[in-house]
Structure 1
Amino acid sequence: MTMMVSDLSVARGGVPVLEGVGFTLAPGRALVLRGPNGVGKTTLLRTVAGLQPALAGTITGGGEAIAYAGHSDGLKSMLSVAENLSFWARVFDRDQIDPAIAAFNLEMLRDRLAGNLSAGQKRRLGLARLMVTGRPIWVLDEPTVSLDVDSVRMFAEAVRTHLAAGGSALMATHIDLGLDDADVLDVTPFKAVPRATLQDEAFL
């Protein structure tokens, strides 16, 4: 499924941060968002994922096709690793969790409570949830936070496998994942122009 974003404007706390953003994300492709901290990458991803409304513009081909992974790992601390993945698999009407457990090297942690995992282990489990959704478009906000070098490689391989199967990925990350043919979009040129306040206008 191809996702198309056209002339999209997004806001944080009611204040426009990006305006006129446009891109196309085709099956088998990855698009990496670049830009300085605070420019609006997270806001853009949340809007594309349907977690907040856009100020203007259109998003087509997303919706129920999207699996989103943000700063929160979305884990239930009193469930084990396997139980967490099984829970999310059922939410998305799926039943396979073993490929996700293998992809993120969670076999030895299968029966451990999520609340007893380290920060990196929790992150790996949170990312493994993507694989049990069955959704073709992954939208990822700084997915490698708390991951060590080996875990970053696991994640990158999971993304490559997803792309090879016809999925796609939209992500904001400062880490080079080794996705040599990934497209890159610097959102800095789309930074919204500050609006004059009523007080400012009174002195013009």
Structure 2
Amino acid sequence: MRFGGVVAVNNVDFSMKEGELRCLIGPNGAGKSTFFKCLTRQYKPTSGQVLFRGTDITGDITFQIARRGIGIKTQVPSVFDGLSVHENIWLSARRHHKAREANKITDAIIERIGLGHATKKLVGRLAHGERQWVELGIVLTGEPKLILLDEPTAGMTGEEVGRTTELIREINRDAALIVVEHDMQFIKAIAAQVTVFHQ
């Protein structure tokens, strides 16, 4: 991936198995987040090919990639602070399902992410970790087969990191995950395989 004369991601040959949980590590500026954005077509790759479950998705646009089953949670939560936990997740669920089904899915996801006690609470009043879990819940409404998590524990307390570790392990029963993270203790807790982006 090039930005003018700057090469952000170069000669990456990456593959993973169905249902795998893989961590990506490397220094800032190594291209990890750019790699994610190429996979989800937030950036159009300037060269190379992206294959997902045997299908070339290089030319797909963002919503098509989401429909194929790839979800992403970025470093900064993309949530509506003025809406409740339930409303945030329901709005996303409604994009994929009819209203009645969206309600059931929303309730199930809220319990899954451990925010049943805060379902009517405004997201803007949640703790940092809870806001991250809301966005993860939003990603789950699309029932993705591959989830990309960009620094999911950044800024979290130790207790929140522990809960996030449990949540990621639980999600991995249904979906593959690629996790970009700098917290080596967290990485050791969740990943059997680690890929290093060197520069």
TM-score range, shorter chain: 0.7 to 0.9
Aligned to 2:26: 35
Q: Normalization by structure 2: what TM-score?
A: 0.81
Secondary structure (helix, strand or coil) at the match of 1:19 reads coil
What is the alpha-carbon distance in structure 1 between the residues aligned to residue 31 and residue 81 of structure 2?
A: 30
Aligned to 1:179: 190
In proportion to residue count, which structure has more helix? 2
Q: 1:49 is matched by which residue type in structure 2?
A: T
In proportion to residue count, which structure has more strand? 1
Aligned mate of 1:75, from 55, 72, 79: 79
Q: Normalization by structure 1: what TM-score?
A: 0.79
Q: Is the 8 A contact 1:32 1:184 kept in 2?
A: yes
Q: Kindly report structure 1 stretches of 4+ aligned residues shifted beyond 4 Å.
A: none
Q: What pairs up with 1:1-204 in 2 under 5 angstroms?
A: 10-12=1-3, 15-61=6-52, 63=65, 64-93=68-97, 95=102, 96-165=105-174, 167-175=175-183, 176-177=186-187, 178-181=189-192, 183-188=193-198, 191=199
Root-mean-square deviation (CA, aligned residues, Å) is: 1.9
In terms of mean alpha carbon deviation, does 25-34 or 98-107 score higher?
98-107
Q: 1:114 to 1:12 in 2, by over 3 A?
A: farther
Identity over aligned pairs, percent: 23
Rg bigger for which structure?
A: 1
Structure 2 unaligned spans of 5+: 58-64
What is the alpha-carbon distance in structure 2 between the residues aligned to residue 11 and residue 72 of structure 1?
A: 24
